[in-house]
Amino acid sequence: MSTTAVEKLIDENLFREAMGNICTPVAVVTTRDYAGEPYGTTVSAFCSLSMAPPMILIALDRASGLLAALREFGAFGVNILLTEAEDAGKKFARKGKGDFTSTDWHWHDGVPRLASSTFFRCTTADLLDGGDHLIVTGLVHAVGLGEGAPLTYHRRTFGTHATVSGTLGR
């Protein structure tokens, strides 16, 4: 569907409320800007895409500064925050380049990696139309496992995963 002639299919507020009922991981996408400075933003759309080759998917607002930086640099990190990184989740959810001055992080192969996260170091594979967002597919080149429970977002609050029954079989 063209973004220039969008038909109102459903009530926007109802859609937003329904999406708020879905529990998502808190993901901070990081890259560097044209000056080589770190840039990061909390995103709500992240998921695995492919095992062979290993790929992930994120969605970024067409007008975001992060998207502009990512288009220029091509490499990016996806930091899936752990519960102890709740403060970072809030800091990177604000407009701008993210607060790297009061966040524990380091460079990982040219991309900022936040502490207390499971990390995917990616290069951009494709940019696809996604309404008012662009869908970015990323080829995963490196993974760093975090130790601890994941930070989640549900109904405008942070939380974590709680097991309700045994593990699923394969």
In the chain, the domains with their CATH numbers are 24-156 (2.30.110.10)
pLDDT score, position 152: 81
pLDDT score, position 1: 47
Cα-Cα-Cα-Cα dihedral sign, residues 117, 87, 45, 168: positive
End-to-end CA distance of the chain: 37
- 3-class state of residue 27 by DSSP: strand
Q: Model's pTM, two decimal places?
A: 0.85
pLDDT score, position 20: 67
Q: Determine how β-strand 24-25 pairs with β-strand 38-43.
A: unpaired
pLDDT at residue 54 tops 90:
yes
What is the number of other CB atoms lying within 10 angstroms of the CB of residue 10?
8
- 3-class state of residue 74 by DSSP: coil
List pLDDT tens digits, range 77-112.
999 999 999 899 889 988 888 889 989 999 999 999
To the nearest whole number, what is the mean pLDDT of the chain? Answer: 87
List pLDDT tens digits, range 19-50.
666 667 899 999 999 899 999 999 989 999 99
CB 158 within 8 A of CB 151: yes
pLDDT at residue 142 tops 80:
yes
- 3-class state of residue 85 by DSSP: helix
